[in-house]
Structure 1
Amino acid sequence: MAQFDKIAERFTRQIARRSSRRSLLAMLGMGMTGAASIPLLPVARAAAAEPAHGAHPGGAARPPIPSGLDQDPGDQASCDYWRYCAIDGFLCSCCGGSVNTCPPGTEMSPITWIGTCTNPADGRAYVISYNDCCGTSSCGQCLCNRNEGDRPQVRPQSNNDYNWCLGSASSVYNCSVAAVIGVALDRPK
């Protein structure tokens, strides 16, 4: 150990002879600036490795989930599906459920938020009930956050930012469904 101490002392003294306090402070400043700029460098991030919307974790494209009905067009596993105009969460149609039903092992929250979406097949507006499915951990697939018609949190029935699972036996969120309640009435003129 004494040999190591002598080598370290000799190395430290040589550095002290060749440099000043100002140069040491300048080198420390450059090192700190360089270390602070490392997060700005272009690197491959883990988020870039996540599958794109509608893709399986393995990288294969997710097959579309059509309703099979002419009056209900679109891919139920896509955020662009007409019923999802005010949804915020994971789609149950990608998590083992459907656009109307929760996946097995979860329960539908009795509390809901609502939205009004236009069906492109008939051009009519429909009232959509968005229910959270609760009971197991988040699905983690097909995340959608569309805020069309979202209202401030002072009007909770029209806001999608709450944990609506608080009304069920378990407050653990899994995914969200979009059930058609009925046709929206036109506003009187």
Structure 2
Amino acid sequence: MTELIDRLLKRLDRTVETRARRSARTHGRRSFMARAGAALVGVAISPVLPFDRRARAQEAGEDACEYWKHCALDGNLCSTSGGSLTSCPPGSEASAVSWVGTCRNPEDDKDYLVSYNDCCGKAGVSSATFCYTSQGERPGYRMGLYNDINWCMANANTGYHCTVSVVVGLADA
């Protein structure tokens, strides 16, 4: 058995060596380095490229604004303007203050505290999905529960871009 494995490994070794030598004769190091560098840059930048998450929500039969974590959201979805459901897009930063909503997850039928943070410091995007799903919204004098305020006012750059929703934990009964 080991003899068979040795023969197969030697054959594989010769094949790889022959092809490597043939490739070295026909292609220079510079062209290999250029192609390898382009491939590495492509792989490195692919997580940064924007993509439309609304298609996944529509395939699941739900509108992006009707996602359970967006029950008290009032603003542009960061997931449709270069960020994600929980992180701001490049070039913007999370607001220093936020508002909180209590949303029911239909999968486990439990209530969760969801923190809504505006992302500030970047111009708005006209193609972003705007949601106004203000379940349980409180009047303006209850600042921590009111979503109609420019929460970017606490940041150095007060320009509003979009809003992310982060689950903080289970809501107490």
Q: Which TM-score tier does this pair reach, normalised by the shorter chain?
A: 0.5 to 0.7
Q: Residue 141 of structure 2 corresponds to which residue in structure 1?
A: 154
Kindly indicate whether residue 68 of structure 2 is the aligned counterpart of residue 82 of structure 1: yes
Distance, in Å, in 2 between the alignment partners of 1:74 and 1:96 is 23
Q: Once the two structures are aligned, what percentage of the paired residues are identical?
A: 45
* Pair 82,74 (structure 1): closer, same or farther in 2 beyond 3 Å: farther
- Residue 155 of structure 2 aligns to which amino acid in structure 1? S
**Counterparts of residues 73-152 of structure 1 (less than 5 Å):** 78-140=64-126, 141-152=128-139
**Alpha-carbon contact 2:54-2:64 (below 8 Å) kept:** no
Task: Return the structure number with greater relative CO, CA threshold 8 A, min gap 6.
Answer: 2
SS at match of 1:93: helix
Counting only pairs closer than 5 Å after superposition, residues 23-42 of structure 1 correspond to structure 2 as: none
Normalising by the residue count of structure 1, what TM-score does the alignment of the two structures yield? 0.59
Displacement over 3 Å in runs of 4+: none
Code of the aligned partner of 1:64: R
Give, in angstroms, the shift of residue 62 of structure 1. Answer: 4.7
Q: Which has the higher helix share?
A: 2
Instruction: State the number of aligned residues.
Output: 120
Gaps of 5+ in 1: 1-60, 67-72
- Correspondence for 1:168: 155
The 3-state SS of whatever aligns with 1:64 is helix
**Per the alignment, do residues 181 and 74 of structure 1 end up closer, same or farther by CA in structure 2, a change over 3 Å counting?**
farther
State the structure with more CA Rg: 1
Deviation at 1:82, TM superposition (A): 0.3
Contact preservation (8 Å) 2:95, 2:120: yes
